[in-house]
A and B are shown apart, each in its own frame.
Chain A
Amino acid sequence: MTPRLVFDVAAGLAILFACVMVVHRHPVKSVLALVVSFFALAVTYVLLAAPLIAAVQVIVYAGAILVLFLFVLMLLNVPEEVRQTPDRPIHQALSAGAIVAFAAALLASLRAYGATRAAPSAELPPGDLAPVARLLFSDHFLSFEALSILLLAALVGSFVLARREESP
């Protein structure tokens, strides 16, 4: 099992379950498909020598954020999307056109860029945590602290937003 093979399998799984997420009409199943997709992405992060980010992806993204989504979905009891026959035809045609155009532009630029870059391959170090931590708590210390204040603000903000109005 070369890293490349594992990467291709994991990325393929991530793409497959992302498709499932978009296609499913039931929001809870969408979230569950996205959890699988994010786990597969965590595998690719390990292969790209970022084990810390892989752990954060599993714990914070798949573990906390998507569970929050599931929690809200179950709280609101969101129904399955029903297919409406005249379902915004202009909107859908424009959206499909925009998606295809964007995909084509992306593919063209990747082709143009990827072809010109075939350079040295070096084995990566296994991805130690200590250098990342040292960088995070020295050069980026201020941003890190700002981030904790942002999270506090988000906590207070979401509490205020979702609070039920007291009836006088």
Chain B
Amino acid sequence: MTANGIPIGDVLLASGALFVIGLAGALLRRNAISIFLAIELMMNAANLAVLGYAAALHSLEGQIVVFFVIAIAAAEAAVGLAIFVALFRHTETIDVNQINLLKW
């Protein structure tokens, strides 16, 4: 399967690489905002795979799905960052190692 002369394998490989990089960032960073950024990157990797298949299958539904994902990511970013602001006001840090209120 190709999309516009681009083999779907290439698209999936790029998407997988981005997803793994995002996973590494989410697991290895200690700053809550950096972790959040890595999660955004993983979401974009998934979007790339969806668009690759949508192009290869000549379907428009994929673009609709990605549109909704981006809009929900915007809502999620707004709420998440508000939580970080409230957290910072409370604990004076956003290092996830020091935010252990619920840790037993």
CB pair A118 B1 closer than 8 Å:
yes
- Say whether chain B's binding surface is mostly helix, strand, loop, or mixed: helix
Within 8 A of B (CB), among A88-138: 88, 92, 95-96, 98-99, 102-103, 106-107, 110, 113-114, 117-124, 131-132, 135-136
- DSSP class of A's interface residues: helix, strand, loop or mixed? helix
Apart from A37-B44, A103-B16, A155-B78, what are 7 other A-B pairs with CB-CB below 8 Å? A34-B41, A48-B6, A50-B62, A78-B33, A106-B19, A110-B13, A124-B55
Residues of A within 8 A of B (CB): 2-4, 7-8, 11, 14-15, 18-19, 21-22, 27, 30-31, 34, 37-38, 41, 44-45, 47-50, 52-53, 56-57, 60-61, 64-65, 68-69, 72-73, 75-76, 78, 81, 88, 92, 95-96, 98-99, 102-103, 106-107, 110, 113-114, 117-124, 131-132, 135-136, 140, 143, 147, 150-151, 153-155, 157-159, 161-162, 164
